[in-house]
Amino acid sequence: MNKKEISEIKKQFTPEHCALTRMCGCYVDGEKNKKTEMQEAFLSLPEEEAFKYFEIFRKALSGTVGKNLLNLEFPLDTEMSGGTQEFLMKLKNSRLTEEALVEAFYDRIIETFPYGENYLILLVHGAYDIPGRSSDNAEMFDASDEVYEYLLCTICPVKLSKAGLSYDADGNRFGARTRDWLVELPMAGFLFPAFQDRSTDLHSMLYYSKNPEELNEIFAESMFGCPVPMSAGGQKETFNAIIEETLGEACDYEVVRNIHEKLHELVEERKDEPEPVTLDKREVKQILAASGVEAEKLEELEERYEVTAGERTEFLASNVMNARKFEIKTPDIVIQVNPERADLVETRMIDGRQCLVIGVDEHVEVNGIVVRTSTEKRGYYAGAADEE
């Protein structure tokens, strides 16, 4: 799913466009015991409660695709009888009305989700009547020919509110606040099936993790049977290792700057495309070649890529480069540059030492104080001399 498709489903979690039919929930304590359960028609909820649930559901579809929102594909065996995808299909088709299926779903999460504190499992069924699109991309609500039925699940921490003083209106006094258990925004969740090309895709799903560096791979693979891609941080570390190991002594500032600039140009070229920019081995090789890397090193990349990342591994460009800044770091200094002006920093040998040189002919501030550059000083002194 791309960001446009996610946004379209996310719009359903509002009073005006609500397509939710039924909701189930299970409160689990830190000892993995079921404390209480609920089942009810979502549209029967009081308006104030519904708004709180909408906020939780929207959060499970928030973030960046490829970081904390991951598209997972079901292996063929999971769609066979007894497979994880087949179980989710039964659950979806039941519209959450079969208690035994819902209980089995709770048990699977409780068994596999690695969390030692209280949490709430929320599971909703939705039925979205997909509006057609005209040639100018306008929605035609009377031209629908498909209903997208889905399950959205969220796993939310439940924590005791903070202690403090509060005002007691009945006693007209301040006293100790009554602490209660609060449901927080989700730490994990999923949407099944995926909504691909504005249609149902039974062979994939969307997985959410609040922390993009803690994807709970074991839980996802046990619960859904789907392999989980490398985390955003893992992609960056692996990509950097490939570059460093391939270039070796040739991994100097100019080459790395060129690689960053080529990546930035590629992202800019494709910024209007709905799908995020991905890099496979062939594209990484092309970027290195365009950055001035020698043919011998490009041949070495073939082996390094396979050993370090795997032959079929792809990287998201947004995970391996920062489009907002170009950063140079030493043990004592950190320099951040507009990624479009990385050319302002260059390397030079000065008095036998390798130095980073930054052009400062324009406006310069130090700790918020505007300082004069050498060019401005020369102009200032020349003006003073003319006055004399």
Are 216 and 246 contained in the same domain?
no
CA 104: distance to chain centroid?
29
Number of domains, the chain: 3
- pLDDT tens digits, residue range 273-321? 888 889 999 999 999 999 988 888 888 888 888 888 887 888 999 898 8
Q: According to the model, what pLDDT value does residue 142 have?
A: 59
315: three-class secondary structure by DSSP = strand
Are 120 and 172 contained in the same domain?
yes
Q: Tell me how far apart the alpha carbons of residues 186 and 123 are, in angstroms, rounded to a whole number.
A: 12
Amino acid symbol at 372 = R
Are 221 and 278 contained in the same domain?
no
Point out the least confidently predicted range of 70-74, 107-111, 350-354: 350-354
Are 46 and 165 contained in the same domain?
yes
pTM for the full predicted model? 0.82
316: three-class secondary structure by DSSP = strand
Are 304 and 366 contained in the same domain?
no
Give the model's confidence band at 88: pLDDT under 50 very low, under 70 low, under 90 confident, else very high: very high
Are 253 and 217 contained in the same domain?
no
Q: Tell me how far apart the alpha carbons of residues 204 and 227 are, in angstroms, rounded to a whole number.
A: 11
Judged on CB neighbours under 10 Å (0-12, 13-18, 19+), 117 is: exposed
Residue 357: closest CA among 253, 211, 204, 241: 253
Are 87 and 102 contained in the same domain?
yes
- Which of 228, 258, 273 terminates a domain? The answer is 228
Q: According to the model, what pLDDT value does residue 385 have?
A: 46
- pLDDT tens digits, residue range 121-171? 999 999 999 987 766 666 665 556 789 999 999 999 999 888 888 888 888
Are 50 and 189 contained in the same domain?
yes
Are 189 and 260 contained in the same domain?
no
Q: Which domain holds residue 272?
A: 233-320
- Which of 298, 320, 342 terminates a domain? The answer is 320
312: three-class secondary structure by DSSP = coil
- pLDDT tens digits, residue range 205-261? 999 999 999 999 999 999 999 989 889 999 999 999 999 999 888 888 888 889 998
Are 49 and 157 contained in the same domain?
yes
Q: Tell me how far apart the alpha carbons of residues 280 and 312 are, in angstroms, rounded to a whole number.
A: 7
Q: Residue 283 is encoded by which pair of tokens?
A: 């594209």
Q: Tell me how far apart the alpha carbons of residues 56 and 61 are, in angstroms, rounded to a whole number.
A: 9
pLDDT at 375 over 80: no
3-state secondary structure 239-298: HHHHHHHHHHHHCCHHHHHHHHHHHHHHHHHCCCCCCCCEECHHHHHHHHHHCCCCHHHH
Q: According to the model, what pLDDT value does residue 50 have?
A: 92
- Which of 178, 193, 228 terminates a domain? The answer is 228
Are 201 and 301 contained in the same domain?
no
Q: Tell me how far apart the alpha carbons of residues 302 and 288 are, in angstroms, rounded to a whole number.
A: 12
Are 151 and 290 contained in the same domain?
no
Q: Residue 282 is encoded by which pair of tokens?
A: 């062939």
pLDDT at 85 over 90: yes
Q: State the Cα angle at 352 between 346 and 354, rounded to 5°.
A: 30
pLDDT at 1 over 70: yes
62: three-class secondary structure by DSSP = coil
pLDDT at 199 over 80: yes
Amino acid symbol at 10 = K
